[in-house]
Structure 1
Amino acid sequence: MQFIDQAEIGIQAGDGGDGLVAFRREKYVPAGGPAGGNGGRGGSVYLMAVENLQTLLDFRYARQFKAKNGQRGGPSNRTGASGEDLYIEVPCGTAVYDVATDELLGDLIEPQQSLCVAKGGKGGLGNAHFLSNRNRAPERALPGLPGEVRDIRLELKLLAEVGIIGLPNAGKSTLISALSAARPKIADYPFTTLIPNLGVVRKPTGDGTVFADIPGLIEGAHEGLGLGHDFLRHIERTRLLLHLVDVTAADPLAHYETIQQELHAYGRGLPERPQILALNKTDALLDEEVDAIAAQLQSASQQPVHKISAVAGVGLEALMHQVWSTLEQQPADEPVEPGIE
C-alpha cells in the first residue's frame, strides 16, 4: 500500500440558479402579475472523516471536485431545485489548509466529522420578488451567485497515543512488532521503514492503545533532509513519545541529542511532549558497558533510562508499565493539541 499523507485539490461549490421573469397567463385572470420564481441554491462542498481510509492516495488521481449547480426558478413562483451538496471522504486525522493563505480551515479527527470548505452560491431572485405598488409588472430578475472556488491542502496526521522515535536502525519497527500484531519490514540496514507503522498494544485493563513507528528522522529532518520532514507531523497528535537509542551505535549520546535537536527545531509542541527514554539492543553488549552508556544518557536527559532488547523481549514489561503510568497521568479527555505555525 502506498502511503500518501499530503495532497492538494481544487474544489468548486455549485453556482446558484438564475431567477426567472414570468407572468401569470391564466384564463379569467386579466392581470395575473409577475410569477417568476427564485433560483435554487448551489451545492456546497464538505469534507467528511471516515474510518475506512488510511491514506490520501485517492487524491493522487482525482484532484478537482465540483458540486452541482442550483436550478433556474420556475413559473408560478416556483423556486428552482437546490444543487446537491458534495461530500468528499478523507481519513480521520486530516488537517485542511487553504493553499492561498496557508490558513488552517479545520481538523477532522472524529469519524463522521464534517467540514464545509466551499459554500454554494445563492439563487437569483425572480421577478415576483420585485413586485411593488410602483411597478406592477417588473421584468427584472437576478442571476445566481457563483459558488466558492478554492484550492486546499490536505495533511494526514496519524492518530496515535504513543509515537516511537529514534534515528534509523534504532529498532523502532522491531519494538512495535514485539508489542503488537503489526508486522513491519525489519532488516539490519537504516531506512528499512519508509512509511509510518501503526500497531495496537493491549493495556492490562484490556483496552487497546495505538502506537506509531515514525521513520526517517535524521539530523536536518526539520529542513527536509531524509524522510523526517514528511513524517514529523505524525507525532504532533501523540500524547507520549517513546525515544529509542541504539546502545550499539558509535556514540549513543550523540544519537539522543540529535533527535532532541530536531524536535526543538520542528517545534509545534513536540519539545514539551512527555518522553520515555529507552536503550535498545542491550543484549549485544556487556552489562558494564550498557550501564555506563545508560548513566551518560540519564545525566544528559535528567530522566530514567530503560534498558531493553526488543528482539529478545528483555525489559519490555517495565517499559510498558512506565508507558501506561505516564498515559494515566495525562487524561485522554485533555488531548495534546498540535501547534500551528
Structure 2
Amino acid sequence: MWSSWSRRVVGGRIATAAAMSAGRWQPKQPQPQPPTSPHPHHHLLHHCRRLHQSYSRRFATDDNPARAVTALPLRCTKKKSALTSAKHLVDEKTVRVVGGRGGNGRVSFMKLFGNENAGPDGGDGGNGGHVVFRASENVTGLAHLVVEIRADDGEKGYNKDCHGKGAEHRFVDVPVGTVIKDSDGRVVGDLARPGVMFVAARGGAGGHGNRYFATDTEQAPEVAEVGGAGESLRYTLELSSIADFGLLGFPNAGKSTLLRAITRARPKVAPYPFTTLQPYVGVVRYSDMETIAVADLPGLIEDSHRNHGLGISFLRHVQRCMALMLVVDLSLPEPWSYVHTLRNEVRCFSETILARPQLIVANKIDADGAADNLVALRERLPDDTIIEISAKHGVNLERLLVHMKSMYDQRVGGESPADEHD
C-alpha cells in the first residue's frame, strides 16, 4: 500500500505531465537574490555615511558652505570610569636599559668506547638579547615603562659541541613620536614613524668553549671564555607630539572642564589654581571615523618662560601640539590682555610655536558681564577666530568641535578651515 507521501509525489508528477501535454505548464522563474554586500560591515558603513550626510545637510549654510563637508562630532554614550583617581599622561621618563649577558663556554672532553681521550667537545655559549625600543600606534604614553629594562641572558654551552641558545631580544613598544636622549642630553633616536626601532642596549657575546681553543700543539685545552656582559645605559624618553590640540590658558580658565565636556577624560576640577600639574589627553570622534586628540596642559602665568609658576615644564608641552586653543575667562575684566600674555609667553619660548594655528575659546559665556566682554574682545582682536562657549553648561560646544575638525583637515588634508567671525 502506498503511503500518503508517495501518493502526493506521484499524483503531482502525473498532473504536471498532463499540463505539459496540454500546453498549460510554465516553468517557475528563479527569484531574484539580494546583492551580496562587498564589505563585512556594509550596513554599519552605510549608516555612518547617511549620518554624515544628514549632519552635513543640517549644518550647511549659504554663507558658510565649507561646513557641508566637515564631519560632525559623535556623541559618546559610554559612561566614564568610576575610579576615584584619573591617570594623567606620562610624556617623559628616564629608564636604565641593560642588555643580556652572553652564556659561558663549556670545558668538556669527549669520551668514546675504547677511546677515553677523544678530544675537547665544549660548546660555545649563546648571545645575550638586545633591548630595542619600537614605535607603535597602540601605545599612547610612557606609563608602562619600568625603571630598569633588562634583556634575557644567553644559555651556557654544553658538551658534544652543543652551543647554547641565544636569548630573544626585548622589544619595548613606545608611542610614535618618541625622542630618545642619552645621559648627556643629546638626541640619539627619533621614532617618528610606526615600526621604527632603536637598539638601546646590545647584549653580550657568548663565550667560546674549549673546543674552540684546540690547536695542533694544544689538543686538550682546559680553558673556556666567560660570556660578555651586555651594555648598561641610561636614557630619557620624551614624547614629541602628545595631541593635535593643546588647551592653553591661565589657571581656572576652564580648560579641565572643557576637556571633560568634549571627551571622556577626567582631569581634576577644583576652584583653586594649578589643579592640573600633568597633561591629560582626551579623544574626540567624528562622523567620518576620524579622531582628534586634545590635551589639557598645565596652567600658565606671566613670566613662565623665566620658570615662574610651572614654568618650563608647561612650555615643554606646548611645542608638541599641532594647534593651540587659547582659553580665556570672559568673567574677568579685559580678557584680551590674557590673550596677549599667553602669546607673549609662547613667543619668548619659541617663535615657531607661535606661528602654529590658533583658536581663541571664550569660556564662561553664562557669567555676568560676559556678553559685554565678548563684544570688547572681538573689537580688540578682529583678525582672530573667537568662539564663545560655556564648558560647564555645554553651550556652543558643537560649533567648537566642528571648527576644530576644519582646522585639523587643513593641517592634514590641505583644506582651508571656514572663517567663523560673527
Structure-2-length-normalised TM-score: 0.65
Q: Which residue of 1 is the match for residue 24 of structure 2?
A: none
Structure 2 match to 1:272: 355
* Residue-pair matches, total: 326
Equivalent in the alignment of 1:194:
277
| Structure 1 residue 332: Cα displacement | 6.9
Structure 1 residue 324, shift from structure 2 partner: 1.3
For the aligned residue pairs, the C-alpha RMSD in angstroms reads 3.5
Distance (Å, rounded) in 2 between the aligned partners of 1:47 and 1:291: 52
Q: Which amino acid aligns with 1:280?
A: N
Structure 1 distance, partners of 2:91, 2:366, is: 36
CA distance 1:108–1:45, change in 2 (3 Å): farther
Could you say which residue in structure 1 is the equivalent of 2:256? Answer: 173
For residues 62-84 of structure 1, what are the alpha-carbon distances to aligned partners after superposition, in whole Å with 9 as ceiling and x for unaligned? 63343333233222211123345
**Aligned-partner SS, 2:354:** coil
Over residues 123-178 of structure 1, what are the superposed CA-to-partner deviations in whole Å (9 max), with x where a residue is unaligned? 12223334455655555543322100012223356732222111112221222233
Aligned mates of 1:258, 1:21 — CA distance in 2: 73
Distance 1:132 1:65 in 2: 41
Post-superposition CA distance 1:73-116 (Å, at most 9, x none): 22221112334544556677654332244434344885x87643
CA 1:181–1:127: 2 relative to 1, 3 Å: closer
Q: In the alignment, is the contact (CA less than 8 A) between 2:323 and 2:357 conserved in 1?
A: yes
1:26 aligns with 2:26: no
- Find the residue that maps to 1:161 and give its secondary structure: strand
Deviations 1:36-59 (A, max 9, x none): 211111132244668577563x66
Aligned twin of 1:14: 100
Where do residues 67-78 of structure 1 align in structure 2 (5 Å cutoff)? 67-78=151-162
Hey, what does 2:128 align to over in structure 1? 42
**Offset from partner CA, 1:240-280 (integer Å, 9 cap, x none):** 22111223334423321222233234339523322112322
Question: How many Å separate the matches in 2 of 1:307 and 1:53?
Answer: 31
Is the radius of gyration larger for structure 1 or structure 2? 2
- Aligned position for 1:320: 401
Aligned-residue sequence identity (percent) comes to 35
Distance in 2, Cα, partners of 1:31 & 1:275: 83
User: Which residue is equivalent to 2:42?
Assistant: none
Amino acid at match of 1:262: E
Q: What is the distance in 1 between the residues matched to 2:394 and 2:248?
A: 19
Which of these residues, 365, 377, 390, is aligned with residue 293 of structure 1? 377
Amino acid in structure 2 at the alignment position of 1:129: Y
The alpha-carbon distance between structure 1 residues 224 and 87, as it changes in their structure 2 partners (threshold 3 A), is farther
Structure 2 vs 1, CA of residues 271 and 135 (structure 1 numbering), >3 Å: closer, same or farther?
farther
CA offset at residue 11 of structure 1? 2.5
Unaligned ranges ≥5, structure 2? 1-84, 415-422
Q: Which residue of 1 aligns with 2:15?
A: none
Map residues 212-291 of structure 1 onto 2, 5 A cutoff: 212-227=295-310, 229-267=312-350, 269-284=352-367, 285=369, 287-291=371-375
Contact 2:179 2:187 in 1 (8 A): no
Structure 1 residue aligned with 2:148, among 59, 64, 70?
A: 64
Q: 1:260-303: CA deviations, max 9, x gaps?
A: 233234339523322112322334326454222222133xxx43
**Alpha-carbon contact 2:139-2:174 (below 8 Å) kept:** no
Aligned-partner SS, 1:331:
helix
Cα distance in 1 for residues equivalent to 2:386 and 2:374: 11
1:168-201 Cα shifts (integer Å, max 9, x gaps): 1222122223323444443443223333333322
Quick one: structure 1 residues 147 and 332, their matched pair in 2 at CA, closer, same or farther if it must change by over 3 Å?
A: farther
Are the counterparts in 1 of residues 110 and 116 from structure 2 also a CA contact under 8 Å? no
Q: For 2:151 and 2:354, how far apart are their aligned partners in 1? A: 42
Structure 1 gap segments, 5+ residues each? 334-341
Which of 81, 89, 103 aligns to 2:187? It is 103
Alpha-carbon distance in 2 for matches of 1:53, 1:293? 37
Residue 14 of structure 1 and its aligned partner are, at CA, apart by 1.9
Which secondary structure does the structure 1 equivalent of 2:281 belong to?
strand
Q: Does structure 2 retain, via aligned residues, the 8 Å contact 1:21–1:127?
A: yes
Q: Determine the C-alpha separation between the residues in 1 that align with 2:299 and 2:373.
A: 28
**How many angstroms apart in 1 are the aligned matches of 2:110 and 2:157?**
14
Residue 65 of structure 2 aligns with which residue? Answer: none
Displacement of 1:121 in angstroms is: 0.4
SS in 1 for 2:100: coil
Sort the Cα spacing of 1:109 and 1:189 in 2 relative to 1 into closer, same or farther, 3 A. Answer: farther
Contact conserved, 2:97 with 2:148, CA < 8 A, in 1?
yes
Distance 1:43 1:151 in 2: 17
